[in-house]
Amino acid sequence: MEYLIYQNEEQKGPFGLDDIQQMLCDGQITKDTLGWQDGMSDWSPIGEIVQIEEHVVSRSVSRGARVEKTVDAAFARFVTEEQDPAAVQKVINRIKDILTKGEEIEYVGVQKKPVITISPDSVVLTNKRFIIARPKLTGFKFEDFQWREVYDVHLSEQMMSATISCTIVGGQKTSIDSIPKKQARRIYSYAQEV
């Protein structure tokens, strides 16, 4: 069976099921990306058309060799909106070490600059904190703020991406640019709910 997808106001494809699964895994599409297959009368979310596994097999090329790793469903929920799976896995592994009792990761947004980004910054939202994780040569630098300290979260969309700014009670401000718009909107929406 072959599938077409509709993304960024253009039709792409046809793709096989393996291609669709890989694009989902790589964050190129989400289960909400519109898709179509022969016999359908209209476009529908690709997640309603194809059977999405509870785990996703992520394939990446490392030093010329094909490496396969299984990503469980708990991780897969953080790569639904074009996030780089490797960057998300790296930041989640580090964030888990600093979570407090009862604190859970709710969302991860990953910076995606127009040129290649080797170590992207990330916004991690937990039920207790707003965290910006900035990779450094020797690890990560975390800027984290309890939700009760957050005065305002602002979204500024540019042509290709968006900037998220967080202002703390007392006036301190931090921001992260080059966040894909869909991710930035989710971050903003979550912050406004909190």
Number of Cβ atoms within 10 Å of the Cβ of 5: 22
The CATH number of domain 78-193, selected from 3.40.50.620, 2.40.280.10, 2.30.29.30, 3.20.20.70: 2.30.29.30
Three-state secondary structure call for residue 123 = strand
Computed on alpha carbons and rounded to an integer, the radius of gyration of the chain in Å comes to 18
In the chain, pLDDT over 70 holds for what percent of residues? 87
Select from 119, 141, 123 the least CA-distant residue to 180.
123
Domain ranges of the chain: 3-74, 78-193
- The whole-angstrom separation of Cα 155 and Cα 137 is 29
- Amino acid at position 90, single letter: K
- The whole-angstrom separation of Cα 72 and Cα 88 is 13
Three-state secondary structure call for residue 81 = coil
Per-residue pLDDT reduced to its tens digit, 6-57: 888 888 989 888 788 878 777 788 888 888 988 888 888 888 888 765 444 3
Cβ burial 41-59 (10 Å sphere, 16+ → b, else e): eeeeebbebbebeeebebe
* pLDDT in the model for residue 73: 55
The residue ranges of DSSP E strands in the chain, in sequence order, are 3-7, 10-15, 34-37, 44-45, 56-62, 65-71, 105-110, 122-126, 129-136, 139-146, 150-157, 162-168, 173-179
What is the value of pTM for the model shown? 0.61
